[in-house]
Structure 1
């Protein structure tokens, strides 16, 4: 917007507080990798139960997404974030106290509800409070906290690994600490100005917008939001598949599913399995999770720097094609049982490519391509699709690895990545530098 200035310190501050939900997402996502060697022994897991235990988080995520979109549209973004924080804290303690497999699965499912809520609400909230010029960077802050959560969790798991057979209980239980900090932080967040205007609370929205930017920014933003809501419906699921918005919904769902079926989360969740197949011991397996976390963090920072400069589409194209090539090499290395050091190089290369492309950019696009009046519900549908694909991925990997060898699934993931490259090239439009309302206008015109 011409002639506008922004309070960048305030914008970044509230973005980071909201993105603490991403840290918890990263924690619950990563903790299973370090705990899995212990859980196999604790519960006597078969490949099917190992896949189901790992994927149980995704089943909870699906439930969390299904009701958090409607919750966010009806009551606001802030109450949803607070509820997610409470669920994170309770489930972390519950998992740590598990006495049997069934109780563990119930608590892991509950943790997934919190992850599902946070995975939808945090990037959506940040997108709605951020000016267009920095929206990509700010939404990527959420991905940054996700990878920090992964790295810190992997480091903690590494140092707890010598704590005996119950080390996994500490790995999960420590998640209660950042959960409480997130709950405290959410109390300081303002409600989303776009939701406030939609709810008829324009004066409150003006106060929030004045903290974000200048008077010109406030006036232009309120005018644009009101225009986008004029004549709109309540944003129910029927409206999500209306002809005018169907292209955006199809793109959102496809990108969400692709981000998971591209296969990288097999590397995150089954690091120990992959490196065990080439002879690495438990200490080396856990060390690799730490290396993965460090590379993930560094390349996420690269993505934050480039997402509003290079753009969303180029990063997605680079990531999908790059992963397709790297997976073929990785599959060959695993098939030939070559050294763990050589395998590590290409595992880390895959992580780096994903971290600066598909990982953050998918969340950015999902948070910005849907119209204001259906953003909560449409985001919910897209992210439910994402977590459904995640469950399919992590549930099937141990089974496929047993039947085909650890290398086999990576040939399949390579083909999926190439198909994703073709889809992004033909169907995804660039969104950098446009306000949410401008994107909505372009969607309706096309």
Structure 2
């Protein structure tokens, strides 16, 4: 799809402009994600998400009107604003979902965030076909479609309750917290839930306010924040965004007859295996699925390299490379795609969680920026062997996950936090069975399940 804003531009200039478009989106995400902690504490989870939609509306409108105004700068600025929206949403949404979800469904509900993302990607890929909205005349409409889900969320989000944990623990608004609990559960007896939150609030009040700098300085948070950052890096440095940024050209080099449709096929695989992860995450656990995904992606990256390197001598390898790409995407959505987003929220209690989400989110978007800017140059330098770099990184993240990342399935927020204080992360899941037997739900919904109706 050509933008048609500067028809006199040469090929090199267009590539430079495309690189700026890709990069400026990540820059917006980097800057805004670092503010997630402050904004979520100041406005609250729900109000922050609601106001954040204004960024999406403004950014989508600017991109949609850029051709009419003959302004490439409007497109760049719109991409930046949309990136800022996504940076905030990538922290606010998992935080909100994690705080209102019951322990038994925390992973599955957290995966819905990723499912919404990949569904949006697939819809955009389909609408971007030349026969639909990807033509020279209609691409501004495609850019403007961004405002539609924004309007929908602005209409529906006011009907969702604010996080009761935020209201009670952070704002000390017991009455509003009770109201939110009753709306979430349909029950009137919320005493058990408030007792649990009261204990967490008591412990939090005894500690100093946790800032971003304090998370790095404090030995209590150093180990979980390192895990959080590396989990986010394992998502972005896996190479999956390199595939989606430049998927069509990769399929062309692989000899695929219709590379655009093959890219849409990869998007469909993206959605399908996110659903698979949705059903497996509470059965197999976060750690197991993450390692399975990393290992599978590493194998697919090696197969992809062999196939692309031998393509000229063995044309049939184009089919192998295509299957390797589909497998790479499938394994990504089994583990590294959805899990890091909600796993970070599980590693921290209510006090340090906003700052931790900001740090992890900024790490994710920074890595996204690096891949978006650097992959094409590295690919030109390394040729078909570029994915061996990602294979090596995936192997490193797999080893790190095996030795340092604990399992959080079935554990309360307090149990997870206490585990880091008692023992190294590599030992935390040795007593998983005992923890699950002794565990009580950490969220409002789970506690109310033990109560009785009035």
- TM-score under structure 1 length normalisation: 0.86
Aligned residue runs from structure 1 range 12-23, under 5 A: none
- Residue in structure 2 matching 1:169, options 140, 144, 151: 140
Q: 2:401 is paired with a residue of what secondary structure? A: helix
After TM superposition, give the deviation of residue 161 of structure 1 in Å.
Answer: 5.4
- Residue in structure 2 matching 1:95, options 63, 79, 82: 63
- Residue in structure 2 matching 1:131, options 80, 96, 102: 102
Aligned residue runs from structure 1 range 37-52, under 5 A: 44=10, 46=12, 47-52=15-20
Q: Is the 8 A contact 1:233 1:373 kept in 2?
A: no
**Aligned: 1:265 with 2:241:** yes
Aligned residue runs from structure 1 range 365-376, under 5 A: 365-376=343-354
User: Unaligned regions of 5+ residues in structure 2, if any?
Assistant: 424-454
CA deviation vs aligned residue, 1:307-356 (integer Å, no higher than 9, x gap) = 11100100111111111111011112222234544322111111110011
2:208 corresponds to which residue?
A: 233
Q: Is the 8 A contact 1:58 1:387 kept in 2?
A: yes
Distance in 1 (CA, whole Å) between partners of 2:93 and 2:143 is 22
After TM superposition, give the deviation of residue 160 of structure 1 in Å.
Answer: 4.5
After TM superposition, give the deviation of residue 275 of structure 1 in Å.
Answer: 1.4
**Aligned: 1:274 with 2:250:** yes
**Aligned: 1:61 with 2:29:** yes
Q: 1:444 to 1:163 in 2, by over 3 A?
A: closer
- Residue in structure 2 matching 1:178, options 121, 146, 149: 149
After TM superposition, give the deviation of residue 437 of structure 1 in Å.
Answer: 2.5
Distance in 1 (CA, whole Å) between partners of 2:4 and 2:236 is 26
Distance in 1 (CA, whole Å) between partners of 2:8 and 2:163 is 45
Distance in 1 (CA, whole Å) between partners of 2:160 and 2:295 is 39
CA deviation vs aligned residue, 1:29-79 (integer Å, no higher than 9, x gap) = xxxxxx579899786463554333212211000111122321101221112
Distance in 2 (CA, whole Å) between partners of 1:160 and 1:180 is 26
- Residue in structure 1 matching 2:183, options 207, 211, 216: 211
Distance in 2 (CA, whole Å) between partners of 1:301 and 1:88 is 26
After TM superposition, give the deviation of residue 364 of structure 1 in Å.
Answer: 1.9
**Aligned: 1:403 with 2:381:** yes
Q: 2:406 is paired with a residue of what secondary structure? A: coil
2:309 corresponds to which residue?
A: 335
Length, aligned pairs only: 409
Q: Is the 8 A contact 1:235 1:374 kept in 2?
A: yes
Q: If you compute each CA radius of gyration, which structure gives the higher value, 1 or 2?
A: 2
- Residue in structure 2 matching 1:253, options 199, 217, 229: 229
Distance in 2 (CA, whole Å) between partners of 1:334 and 1:124 is 41
Distance in 2 (CA, whole Å) between partners of 1:272 and 1:157 is 13
Distance in 1 (CA, whole Å) between partners of 2:338 and 2:133 is 34
CA deviation vs aligned residue, 1:153-174 (integer Å, no higher than 9, x gap) = 1111126457632443222111
Q: 1:309 is paired with a residue of what secondary structure? A: helix
After TM superposition, give the deviation of residue 236 of structure 1 in Å.
Answer: 1.8
- Residue in structure 2 matching 1:72, options 8, 32, 40: 40
Distance in 1 (CA, whole Å) between partners of 2:134 and 2:297 is 36
- Residue in structure 2 matching 1:200, options 160, 172, 176: 172
- TM-score under structure 2 length normalisation: 0.85
User: Unaligned regions of 5+ residues in structure 1, if any?
Assistant: 1-34
Distance in 2 (CA, whole Å) between partners of 1:158 and 1:42 is 24
Q: 1:219 to 1:54 in 2, by over 3 A?
A: same
